[in-house]
Structure 1
Amino acid sequence: MIMESPIKQIRLSQTAKDQLIKLKRYTKIEQWNILCRWGFCRSLAEPSIPSPVPIILDSNVEMTWRVFGGNMADLLLIALKQRCYKDGLGTDKETLITQFRLHLHRGIGYLAGDMNIKKIEHLIELTTK
């Protein structure tokens, strides 16, 4: 069964796009959606709530929720809902959309700023820490 996601389209900031370009170069992962998934999960793993900073969605990188999530789309939506619930934020449509955007951009920033990520194996090592 496929869950209905409140998030239909995903667009990135120019900063996030630039950070993903750097990550593509290091990891050799060519697909935006795969790197975005890594970033989103990296942020979810962080215990703090992302700062509610305004994000300007000014890049030309855009994808649907299904492209972003692939065969993990339902699991990623459940993880987002669980995180919003745990953080006491509620799980209404607007909250989910906002928190997704904040987690996605924060996580991409974390990955791009991690000086230890120089190849795909370094991404994988993050999952075993």
Structure 2
Amino acid sequence: MEPPLERIRLSLTAKEQLTKLKRVTKIENWNILCRWALCRSLAELTIPSPVPIPSDSNVEMTWQVFGGEMCDLLLLALKQRCHNDHLATDQETLATQFRLHLHRGIGYLAGDANLQQIEDLITLTDTQTH
């Protein structure tokens, strides 16, 4: 499947938030935390605010590194979410929505006072499905 974008570069704010999450969860890889963040945002009922997101950090990864073995599933989830939100599923819309969801999800995870260890990520998924 064609990814919405080849390279993902995070904002400086997102990098700082991910650094905090790495410390709290002990998850060392940016891409794994970013997958959690994307899924956290996709689980929200509201559409992310269309705010400009700078690409001003040195954290960058390819779509393949971001998604790993799940890259096609994550792309399908993003397309389904765009469809549910009555948005187009062209490359530009997918890329924009991906960045908005990713950064919103990072913010949600970093701002969650209940997220104190890696096990709390699992608890988070239980509360999202009920």
Fold shared by both chains (TM-score > 0.5): yes
CA-to-aligned-CA distance 1:79-129 (integer Å, 9 cap, x gap): 000000110111011000000000000000000000000100001111111
Distance in 1, matches of 2:125 and 2:103, equals: 19
- What's 1:31 paired with? 29
The answer on 1:8 being equivalent to 2:6 is yes
Q: CA deviation at 1:16?
A: 0.1
Please point out which of 96, 100, 107 is paired with 1:102: 100
The residue number in structure 2 matching 1:78 is 76
State how 1:86-97 maps to structure 2 within 5 Å. 86-97=84-95
Moved over 4 A (4+): none
Unaligned runs of 5+ in 2: none
Backbone CA RMSD of aligned residues: 0.5
Q: Distance in 1 between matches of 2:100 and 2:75?
A: 14
Q: Distance in 1 between matches of 2:122 and 2:4?
A: 29
- Alignment identity in percent? 74
Using the TM superposition, give the Cα deviation of residue 28 of structure 1 relative to its aligned residue in structure 2, in angstroms: 0.1
- How many aligned positions are there? 127
5+ residue gaps, structure 1, are: none
Normalising by structure 1, we get a TM-score of 0.97
TM (normalized to structure 2)? 0.96
List per-residue Cα deviations over 1:12-31 (Å, max 9, x = no partner): 00000000000000000000
